[in-house]
Chains A and B, each alone.
Chain A
Amino acid sequence: MSAELLLVQALNGLQFGVLLFLVAAGLTLVFGVMDFINLAHGVQYMLGAYFGATLAAATGSFWLGLLLALPAALAAGLALELLVFRHLYGRDHLAQVLATFGVILFLNEGVKLAWGAAPLQMPVPPLLEGGVALMPGLQYPVYRLAILAAGLATALLLWVLVDRTRAGMLVRAGATHPDIVAALGVDIRRLFLLVFAFGAMLAGFAGAMAAPVLSVEPGMGDAPLILAFVVIVIGGIGSIRGAFVASLLVGLMDTLGRAALPDLLRLFLAPSPARQAGAAIASMLVYILMAAVLAVRPAGLFPARAG
């Protein structure tokens, strides 16, 4: 594999990583603060993509669509919290897994009913069309660079919010010592509603931004959801920093693995089995990483809750 291809794949991997981070950030906070497993977080990503695509088509503007998708995703998150998730906080993880699994079934099918099973397209905005020359003779789509930049900017904003504001301080405290925060007079339920809605919006934002490069279809949130879980388990549950590092790691490993492994294996194997084995091992790579991290550091790389 040539250096140019490696560069392109690394950029793709980083871009995938920041999208994963936007999904994982909400998930890890919800998990950390309320000890709540939300399998339905992936459908927030899917809803974001659908809202973005639909609103962009309705308003005729990508930017308006993206802008309006945010409050729509926020509203969807609030509705889910009030209707279902609120009643699951005191329950065991098993109940949470199952109930949120039910929400996935409902929303995946609901999306199919509302928008049809055929994938939607969301056009790339004219401003970000075309490619940019990274090196002589090597074009890279501007839009993908824009996703990367927007993702990094959001991560920075999130860091400022969580690390530098009062609300962020409460969230951090809530992730490590929820009982004490509650005892100090903070309405932890309201705090959680806030975190939850914000997380839903981030996932929706990721979905809407990814919509022009992916096909918007029912069930598109399932794969990012599982990868986001891998990310937060690797990074350490409740840790934003861990989620960021792990997202980029997972994004890079997954993308580079898929691109490079078949070529690497061809050094030892015949082309056809090398391609098959390479593809299989590449799709397993992040799970192997997660199993290895869990086996060595069960609390993840950056555990939020010490001791």
Chain B
Amino acid sequence: MRSRYGLLSTTSAVILFILLEAFSIVLVVNRGVVQRYKVLGTVRSIESVVWARTSRIGSFFSLRPENERLAAENLQLRQQLARYETARKELDSLDRIIEPEFTYIGALVVRNSVNRQHNYLILDQGWKEGVEEGMGVVTSQGVIGVVGGVSRHYSYVFSVLSTDQTVSVKLAGSGAFGPMTWPGTDPGMTVLREIPVHIQSAPGDTVYSSGYSTLYPPDIPVGTVASAMVSQGSSQELTVRLFEDFRSLRHVYIVKNNRREELEELYEKVR
């Protein structure tokens, strides 16, 4: 009787073990961030207060370099604006309204991770401010990630510093493009693959976003080529040193592609 009870107990423990492990693997495979946002709204709202406060304390200590960076960016934007104003005046005579392809929502990073295999950011802008899932996130110094989940006042971003995220980028000069991924070690380095062997590239060449997706605008400087090596004899693998320091990331822009629906409709039609 005792041995029968022992056998039953062992069998049920094995079944419980299999069930718990299977459930965990299902959770890992379906990284349901959005679902978690809906289910754990209360937990999120309590955590958000802590993040916002710790973020404010952190930002106090990095005010000076951040202000300098923003001032430089502001100057660059003012110069661009002046050029666009001139162009717009000329176009006004054609009585044509130009809708920009991309519009931006400024956001502050309240939480950021760089030491995991799948990193993320949390921004202080949510659906109330017009943020939607699938929007890209950029800075003037690089692409940051994709919005994966949105709550009322916050959004969860899958960082490009994730081993399963890919960004389409191109090389300055030749215009050769390929997928850029993070190999998972140094948060300052990524790898650009599938560059044809005949394309010449030298250390220091700038890498830009290609614009071949609805997520990121083209021509955002991402980084510079650090080194190149031939991979499997058919293409080059370039190591890219990123311009953006993800460890001290504070201000970002969420990108709204105003022609995204039109493009997606077109894809659907030809599919």
Report if A and B associate in a common complex: no
